[in-house]
């Protein structure tokens, strides 16, 4: 019988699931790293040769081996003391897996669970922090030249079943959100909104539900405690990673629109869910079983509750450019080709065919990095609708190298 060797994390460091982006300072290029989970509030700017080093912090390469790889790549020796200092700095910033990061995770989880509500994390950064200014900002999205038409929706007065809206910064993508929420404004509105967003930091259990109410500059959004309690009884593992809600923005960005549009007419509650699985992962029987189990359980709970609900999927589409792993910035040609593929990919979504949606992404090996797959797939599995429609499509530029995120608004009736 053999036991797996436990490697010293100081000699075999493991970089956490961080995000990074290229930046320019004069003629020099650097990489900035940060933690999407919110566990670390730090940012780290690295020269490209140091970024090369940390890319090998995978728990499999020793510092000695990394030094040899560095020598081969750059033709110079890597001073051991400098690498050891880099490891220590990363560990201090909670950028590495290990005892310090594990302790910080436990503290953060306990603090979140003891809190009375989930506080607004992005007010003042991605949208107005003052309630009156936020209302004015949202109204401006609807009246913007890029906002929705003033003519009544063809679905006016019908019960709405689902929405897809972006999760991109409201200051830039607000008018695209407005296309989706105009449909809600003119529809027969339900009492419960199942708001499903992408967990950009990833999830071990694929889904994470929280029972916290959500605070926004417009007041408190109540989580539907009877539904969430029922979910906790039948799907307890879905609550193990509830702390991820604290730093993720996908749900938070939908709430001011719901408050502005729905609250004036009637009270409403939400069921807040974050999710993270890829189209390719559905080929794995264990992943497929976990996804099916959660969505079947959620459907059952919603059905037993006997209340009309609308599923809101906060989702982005393609991610193009150096920030997302491409070797060169996107060109106009590559963007327009991505747009064509996006709209082809959304055809089975409009037709309420989740498996065809997954198959499209699987066929192209997710080369465009569709981050909103899991919320949209979940929406399609949860709603009973006759049709869906792409209302608006656009993109955002995320860095100096023209890295691009695409997104769309959709409605289902």
The residue segments making up the domain with residue 44 are: 19-106
Domain shared by 311 and 366, yes or no: yes
Residue 36 lies in a domain: yes
Judged on CB neighbours under 10 Å (0-12, 13-18, 19+), 404 is buried
Report if pTM > 0.95. Answer: no
Domain shared by 128 and 240, yes or no: yes
pLDDT per position as a tens digit, 277-298 = 999 999 999 999 999 999 999 9
Q: How many folded domains does the chain comprise?
A: 2
Residue 318 lies in a domain: yes
Domain shared by 150 and 41, yes or no: no
Residue 11 lies in a domain: no
Domain shared by 53 and 182, yes or no: no
The string of DSSP codes covering 244-271 is GGGT--TTGGGHHHHHHHHTTT---EEE
Domain shared by 96 and 123, yes or no: no
- Alpha carbons 242 and 246: distance in angstroms, whole number: 8
The torsion angles phi and psi of 397, rounded to 5 degrees, stand at -100, 130
Contacts of 378 by beta carbon, 8 Å cutoff, 6+ apart:
196, 273, 275, 295, 311, 313
pLDDT for res 24: 87
- The two tokens of residue 203 are 């999830």
- Alpha carbons 289 and 297: distance in angstroms, whole number: 12
pLDDT band at 25 (very low <50, low <70, confident <90, very high): confident
Strand partners, 162: 311, 412
pLDDT for res 28: 87
pLDDT per position as a tens digit, 51-101 = 999 999 999 999 999 999 999 999 999 999 999 999 999 999 999 999 999
pLDDT per position as a tens digit, 71-81 = 999 999 999 99
pLDDT per position as a tens digit, 208-226 = 999 999 999 999 999 999 9
pLDDT for res 10: 86
pLDDT per position as a tens digit, 170-181 = 999 999 999 999
Count CB atoms within 10 A of the CB of residue 72: 8
**Average pLDDT score over residue span 296-302:** 98
395: left (phi over 0), alpha (psi -120 to 50) or beta: beta
Q: How far is CA 404 from CA 16, 318, 319, in A?
A: 24, 8, 6
Q: Which CATH number do you get for residue 256?
A: 3.40.830.10
- Alpha carbons 23 and 311: distance in angstroms, whole number: 37
Domain shared by 285 and 393, yes or no: yes
- The two tokens of residue 401 are 């190298």
Domain shared by 183 and 90, yes or no: no
Pick from 140, 160, 147: which is nearest to 256 by CA? 140
| Domain-ending residue, one of 76, 106, 136 | 106
Residue 273 lies in a domain: yes
């Amino acid at each position: 019988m053999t036991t797996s060797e436990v490697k010293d994390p100081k000699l075999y460091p493991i970089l956490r699931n961080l995000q990074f982006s290229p930046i320019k300072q004069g003629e020099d290029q650097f990489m900035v790293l940060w933690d999407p989970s919110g566990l670390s509030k730090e940012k780290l700017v690295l020269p490209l040769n140091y970024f090369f080093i940390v890319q090998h912090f995978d728990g499999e390469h020793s510092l000695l081996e990394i030094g040899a790889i560095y020598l081969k790549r750059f033709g110079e020796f890597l001073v051991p003391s400098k690498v050891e200092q880099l490891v220590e700095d990363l560990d201090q910033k909670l950028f590495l897996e290990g005892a310090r990061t594990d302790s910080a995770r436990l503290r953060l989880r306990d603090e979140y669970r003891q809190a009375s509500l989930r506080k607004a994390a992005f007010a003042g950064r991605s949208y107005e922090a003052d309630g009156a200014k936020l209302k004015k900002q949202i109204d401006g999205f609807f009246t913007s030249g890029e906002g929705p038409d003033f003519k009544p929706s063809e679905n006016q007065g019908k019960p709405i079943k689902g929405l897809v809206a972006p999760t991109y910064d409201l200051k830039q993508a607000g008018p695209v959100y407005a296309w989706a929420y105009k449909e809600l404004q003119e529809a027969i509105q339900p009492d419960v909104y199942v708001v499903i967003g992408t967990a950009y930091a990833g999830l071990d259990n694929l889904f994470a539900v929280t029972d916290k109410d959500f605070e926004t500059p417009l007041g408190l959004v109540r989580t539907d405690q009877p539904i969430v309690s029922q979910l906790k009884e039948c799907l307890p593992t879905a609550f193990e990673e509830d702390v991820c809600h604290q730093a993720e923005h996908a749900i938070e960005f939908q709430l001011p629109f719901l408050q502005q549009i729905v609250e004036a007419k009637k009270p409403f509650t939400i069921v807040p869910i974050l999710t993270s699985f890829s189209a390719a992962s559905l080929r794995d029987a264990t992943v497929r079983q976990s996804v099916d189990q959660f969505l079947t359980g959620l459907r059952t709970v919603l059905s037993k509750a006997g209340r009309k609900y609308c599923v809101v999927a906060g989702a982005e589409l393609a991610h193009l450019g150096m920030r997302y792993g491409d070797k060169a910035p996107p060109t106009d040609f590559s963007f327009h080709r991505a747009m064509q593929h996006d709209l082809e990919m959304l055809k089975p979504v409009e037709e309420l065919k989740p498996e065809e949606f997954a198959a499209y992404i699987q066929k192209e090996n997710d080369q465009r990095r569709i981050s909103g797959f899991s919320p949209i797939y979940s929406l399609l599995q949860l709603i009973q609708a006759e049709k869906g429609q792409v209302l608006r499509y656009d993109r955002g530029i995320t860095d100096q190298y023209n890295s691009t995120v695409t997104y769309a608004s959709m409605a289902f009736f």
